[in-house]
Amino acid sequence: MKLMRKSRRLVSIKQGKKHLVQQSREESKQSNGRQLSIHDFDFLSTLGTGTFGRVRLVRFKHDSKCDPMALKMLKKTEIIRLKQVDHVRSEKKILETIRHPFIVQLQDTFQTESHVFMLLDYACGGELFSLLRREGRFSNDVGLFFATEIVLAFEYLHSKEIAYRDLKPENLLVDKDGHVRITDFGFAKVVKDKTYTLCGTPEYLAPEIIQSKGHSKYVDWWALGVLIFEMLAGYPPFYDDNPLGIYQKILDGYYEFPPYVEPKAINLIKSFLTADKSIRLGCNRGSEEVKEHKWFKGVDWNVVYSREIPSPWVPKIMDNADTQYFEKYPDSVETPSVPTKA
């Protein structure tokens, strides 16, 4: 679970400095009314590191039956320095309002003088990015399996006017049953009309984001086209040694398919990777026209939603705290301060 993968991350250039400590008493308490604290957890291994902090696997000290969880630990000094206050607050607010089988669930939040904490479900299969790199590329059926779950997640988010804006394999986790869980909502935003923030990952940016013409939730369908291409080809459609080169290729619409990608998948990807939003797949009737595409023919979407379709890849874990599918990181010597009182 990455907080930031520097090679594929473009941080928003928007945002002013705001007070980060403002938080109601209720937001820092457990359901029993007691304030949640870092002292409630046994800290296990590190799952990921980034500019703002790290993600640790944790377990409640006094509840051995509780599954381990992922604790996202964000340094306030770095959040403020990089002008990411709005994104952190937005991520928290959005995660508190959504619940979907293919989205990582936020369980609780609290803060200390030095850190903001988000307690999340733990997906033991690691990043889809890692699985894709191990496999090289996915077969048509495997790519289809993961794509269907993402379509339903986007359908749900878009019904709430939420633009996700950061789709990529690094932000897709695989749970113990082999199903996708979208994570990292730092760039997600409620967008009822247009927004102009330049944010996302270079290879996955839609043309309207690059051109600062204003964009909406429909940039997610463009990004899904990029993801499906990367899953089936083994590499992204738009690539260059520097972001400016990537942007130019996106604006030029220049990409080529390898010979092993099936025609129906090619047609779908081309329908997503259309700069003209009036004809881009998903921009007129939303997820319904996406689900009607011939690549998805025969898919029972109700069965997909209920997670009844067996995953083509299920992590082989020793126990529910197994971290073998995550990269190894040295544990931090830093000890966050005690929680603040509201």
Domain range list for the chain: 12-121, 128-305
pTM score, two decimals? Answer: 0.89
- The reported pLDDT for the residue numbered 51 is 85
Tell me the C-alpha distance between 305 and 198, whole Å: 32
Domain boundaries 128-305, corresponding CATH code: 1.10.510.10
Tell me the C-alpha distance between 317 and 285, whole Å: 41
Instruction: Give exposure, 89-126, as e/b (b: 16+ Cβ within 10 Å).
Output: bbbbebbeebebbbbbebebbbbbebbbbbbbbbbbbb
Please write the tens of the pLDDT for every residue from 281-323: 999 999 999 999 999 999 999 999 999 999 999 999 999 999 9
Element (H or E) spanning 81, and its range? helix 76-81
Tell me the C-alpha distance between 225 and 238, whole Å: 11
Active-site annotation holder among 40, 86, 166, 184: 166
166 catalytically annotated: yes
Residues above pLDDT 90, as percent of the chain: 80
Tell me the C-alpha distance between 107 and 68, whole Å: 12
Q: What is the DSSP letter of 127?
A: B
Which of 2-16, 27-41, 202-216, 321-335 has the highest average model confidence (pLDDT)? 202-216
Class of domain 12-121: alpha beta
- The reported pLDDT for the residue numbered 2 is 37
Question: 132 pLDDT band (50/70/90 cuts)?
Answer: very high
Q: Is 72 annotated as a binding residue?
A: yes
